[in-house]
Structure 1
């Protein structure tokens, strides 16, 4: 394992990068015996489906409730893993073996995440190269590449979501970061190719597509425009546009072509976009809809108390039942998928316009990308709480470049990471998640404060008080409420309060970043003292 990590991290970053990568890999190994969620069974079932059944049945198989609902490249990824899995325990590859979790199966699944994270490690190294020329501080640990590597490799969210809860976000985030690094290195076609591949691994990255499309069109297809200047159609390169289109078309053909040939494309798309799952996931992601649902719940309680609502017409526990299905709001207008899409597009458009009319190079693209991810997280339909990582990870690159962005990152990362706490609800993982969260948060604050010591404080007084309040929320929801007499009557209350409180912080970070983009100077790169 150590040799594999060393090979993946060899390069200009030096031995310190290998040490960081090896350290976090060893920690991942220690987390192998921890709790795993239903996502563990999801991926075991996908291993079985892709290994045991012909391609024509992959997107029709429904023995388990956890049907295959990722794009074809991820299905082929599971197919490749299954041919290694058979050497651990063949029984895990039987479709009929629902909820199968033998010790060898657990070991294989955990190791598969750790080994595929090598791509993430490589991508982080490439991102560090993009800021390697920046000089700040006398010590290595106060330089942007070191801080960036630590913020990404030791990211709290990735550690608990992938290596405890269980998913493959590190591998997929590696593709995203590698694509971003290639655009920073002006290797546009390579960056576009990697992003196109990523879309066919997990379609949630469609959130980022507007930023990629506008940036590549403006910075690559228009060949004669000056940085920050207006574009002229006379400088538009049809050859470059054709190259980009060919890349997207080729990747899409490789991914979807077999299912088009089988006349199964509608079935595949119906699995990828299941709109009947409802506005919110079982545990509300901390976004605008969490605040909307909370407001509706408060208004319904007040309406009943003061006789303004008919109790017979109010569904029992509706949104707070923790079930994944469609619900109607009681007082506020109910939200449809089309309404959520419209809100998302309205939220994304200003950042896209700024990317076109106020370009700031790759860092302007990166800000737009984060805003696209955050806007989709804020207003999207059936958003999972884990989707906050799509914004936190790329925001790490901005955090080591600008004091203002560093402050936004601290608010977003701290709030977004704490919102993941309810994913780990078993007692043995409580001290693990608290310790890892504290270590990451303390390091983030101390390292970024040291990096920008000549700047004004990264956080204001009210912002600091809000983040400190997360600790109080944790004590109340994790320790006090389970011991109270209300725990059995209102089991969803801690989740509701956590989602609503964290939604305030995520919304504030989104607004703060948007203000910096909308009011920032035209065509200038952010500078750090």
Structure 2
């Protein structure tokens, strides 16, 4: 079975890789120079100076494991073109050779994503595997962010999938190990730390051997963190490392507001300031303080109370609290993915200086749940569409416009057809006209035998309804929003109010993703399913 399953994944990966190769000449953001410069830093300087270097404005601000990853890439880069990893001569160096090399490293690093995806799906039925493979491998968000804009999210998300797959199989220490590794690559993934901590404490550190389990788990995590940060502790650089990892001076929002709660908060503040000024009130502060489109240009609000990093951290934890209570009471491994998805959604909606690219942290894991129920599939289709559309402003050049639109429309079209077909085929009785969740089998039953009986689905003669009327109407609203942003605004305002289209996209998508957050909160409290038994 495994050979056949792997072949399904491999042909999808082959198609995806061909698309990525075609995207090599496309636009790349400043992140391209960021990662090239990080290779130069790690290649040219001793370890103790990595987090002190200020040769460029693109200072190293990822955890040590990612710095070592850049050091590994620099070994090969120095053989391809030595100037690429020269700390001074290499600044803003972007020849065709450099572009091809760096694009190739992202494509190669995606092998970790495919490994994690295969490991997560390896016990599922072939039909379910193909569905999940397609949802992740052909993600337009990964194409846009990693292979056009330029980042390494696929590689990092692959480590997350490895961790989740281990937790679902009951391999708690291994799951904790991979999560610790992930956080030491990119600290923003630590948002799910409370979920991991409570779950592992309640699910693994229990019974008569709870103390030894706790020590085993703790020593594993401490070892990983020690390997990552130990050299910098030795050189007395931990203060500098932490300063780089948590640059709170960048402001509440990024240049393009991520579509979260703070985009709505900023908009309300802006509207109130305009209204009060019209009424003759003296409102302090610059008129465009929150709409200038500059990083760090969000130092204060005109009317509403100012927000600090501590407030955002508290809101993230408060939003996560109901989920943590649920985990404490019923730590079921079959629900781990749902909880992690919710944790990253909380971090996105309420976090400090959130980048719109962070939507990948919850959308990609959410795709692993789409075969569980029609509701989960509908939530994914809605959330992924809004999240991936919100990434459009990242690719602002005209030649990439048909690419990003085609990627999203094709993905939504295919998933919108494939998902109803998948659930329709699960029906054991073609005359059934109801959708009822059946009783979960005994834990000794394999996932293969459960797949056709977990759900009694709508008759194949009827269309499975994934999105209700309200969600369909909301998604239809993306079309006039895009028409205004691309055509009407330039015609009406010329070069004035350049940030307004970004603001409208952010605010409109914020409403949809805030709704998605509420749905994820609700999903965490649905009737729990018994833990899934996996053959080891």
The question of a shared fold, defined as TM-score above 0.5 by the shorter chain, is answered with yes
Residue 303 of structure 1: CA displacement?
Answer: 1.5
- 1:2-21 mapped onto 2 (5 Å cutoff): 11=3, 13-21=5-13
Q: Would you say 1:110 and 2:118 are equivalent positions?
A: no
Query: What's 2:390 paired with?
Result: 419
* Runs of 5+ unmatched residues, structure 1: 1-8, 134-139, 224-234
Residue 445 of structure 1: CA displacement?
Answer: 1.6
* 260-269 vs 210-219, greater mean Cα deviation: 210-219
Q: Would you say 1:295 and 2:301 are equivalent positions?
A: no
2:175 to 182, 191, 211: 191
Q: Deviations over 1:203-256 (max 9, x none)?
A: 011011112112212222224xxxxxxxxxxx4511111110011110011000
Contact 2:335 / 2:528 at 8 angstroms: preserved in 1?
no
Q: Would you say 1:210 and 2:194 are equivalent positions?
A: yes
TM-score w.r.t. the length of structure 2 is 0.89
Three-state SS of the structure 2 residue aligned to 1:309 is coil
Distance in structure 1 (CA, Å) of the matches to 2:315 and 2:194 = 15
Residue 525 of structure 1: CA displacement?
Answer: 6.8
Contact 1:411 / 1:506 at 8 angstroms: preserved in 2?
no
* 472-481 vs 158-167, greater mean Cα deviation: 472-481
Three-state SS of the structure 2 residue aligned to 1:127 is helix
Q: Would you say 1:240 and 2:233 are equivalent positions?
A: no
Contact 1:358 / 1:523 at 8 angstroms: preserved in 2?
no
Query: What's 1:282 paired with?
Result: 255
- 1:435-514 mapped onto 2 (5 Å cutoff): 435-453=406-424, 454-455=457-458, 457-482=465-490, 484-514=491-521
Q: Would you say 1:356 and 2:344 are equivalent positions?
A: no
- 1:244-283 mapped onto 2 (5 Å cutoff): 244-283=217-256
Query: What's 2:304 paired with?
Result: 332
Residue 474 of structure 1: CA displacement?
Answer: 1.5
Query: What's 1:517 paired with?
Result: 524
Residue 98 of structure 1: CA displacement?
Answer: 1.8
Distance in structure 1 (CA, Å) of the matches to 2:499 and 2:347 = 25
Residue 317 of structure 1: CA displacement?
Answer: 1.5
- 1:10-49 mapped onto 2 (5 Å cutoff): 11=3, 13-49=5-41
Distance in structure 1 (CA, Å) of the matches to 2:209 and 2:375 = 35
Residue 487 of structure 1: CA displacement?
Answer: 3.9
Three-state SS of the structure 2 residue aligned to 1:303 is helix
Contact 1:284 / 1:499 at 8 angstroms: preserved in 2?
yes
Residue 22 of structure 1: CA displacement?
Answer: 0.9
Q: Deviations over 1:422-454 (max 9, x none)?
A: 000000000000000101111222212222333
- 1:52-451 mapped onto 2 (5 Å cutoff): 52-96=44-88, 97-130=90-123, 132-133=124-125, 143-223=127-207, 235=208, 237-310=210-283, 313-325=284-296, 326-359=298-331, 361-451=332-422
Contact 1:13 / 1:128 at 8 angstroms: preserved in 2?
no
Residue 118 of structure 1: CA displacement?
Answer: 0.8
Contact 1:179 / 1:190 at 8 angstroms: preserved in 2?
yes
* 265-274 vs 188-197, greater mean Cα deviation: 188-197
Distance in structure 1 (CA, Å) of the matches to 2:414 and 2:529 = 32
TM-score w.r.t. the length of structure 1 is 0.90
Aligned residues: 493
Query: What's 2:452 paired with?
Result: none
| Greater than 6 Å deviation, 4+ residue runs | none
Contact 2:334 / 2:530 at 8 angstroms: preserved in 1?
no
* Runs of 5+ unmatched residues, structure 2: 425-456, 459-463
Residue 151 of structure 1: CA displacement?
Answer: 0.4
Contact 1:129 / 1:145 at 8 angstroms: preserved in 2?
yes
Contact 2:6 / 2:118 at 8 angstroms: preserved in 1?
no
C-alpha RMSD over aligned residues: 1.7
Contact 2:172 / 2:204 at 8 angstroms: preserved in 1?
yes
Query: Compared with structure 1, are the counterparts of its residues 144 and 522 closer, same or farther at alpha carbon in structure 2 (3 Å cutoff)?
Result: closer
Three-state SS of the structure 1 residue aligned to 2:300 is coil
Distance in structure 2 (CA, Å) of the matches to 1:67 and 1:428 = 30
